[in-house]
Amino acid sequence: MDTFTIKPVSLKLILSVLLASVTVGCATPSPKLDDNFGNAVNAAKAAQIINPDASQNTDPVAGIDGQAADATMSRYHRSFVAPQPPTNVFNIGVSSGANSGMSSGGSGSGSGGGSYR
């Protein structure tokens, strides 16, 4: 009787096919979100454009003269070179609470019944 033997080359082929099928079976398909990727950004950019054909308009812009615009831009650029220091707000005599304005040695029960001076 003839015995059935597997050749080593066939065994390697079977194992590699089995390994490939297991690997493919574990892979997840691409989510549906990939089809819409970037649509939100494109919609936000389109919403920020007032006039998409603005480059076709050759009429000059009216409103501010060249000297005023130059002075404004110079002041704007200088504000980044040496910005103004922040102003410190220091309030004197401002407090909040139930006992504000009361003397500390008044004759009361401590609930606002002190003497006013």
pTM, 2 dp: 0.25
pLDDT reported for residue 115:
55
pLDDT reported for residue 85:
77
pLDDT reported for residue 44:
92
DSSP the chain: -PPP---HHHHHHHHHHHHHHHHHHHPPPPPGGGGGTTHHHHHHHHHH-S-TTGGG--SPPPSS-HHHHHHHHHHHHHHHHSPPPPPPP--SS---STTTT--TT-SS-SSS-S---
pLDDT reported for residue 8:
61
Taking only the tens of pLDDT, the chain with its 117 residues reads: 566 666 666 788 888 888 888 887 777 776 666 778 889 999 999 988 888 888 888 887 788 888 999 999 999 998 888 767 778 877 777 666 555 555 555 455 555 555 555
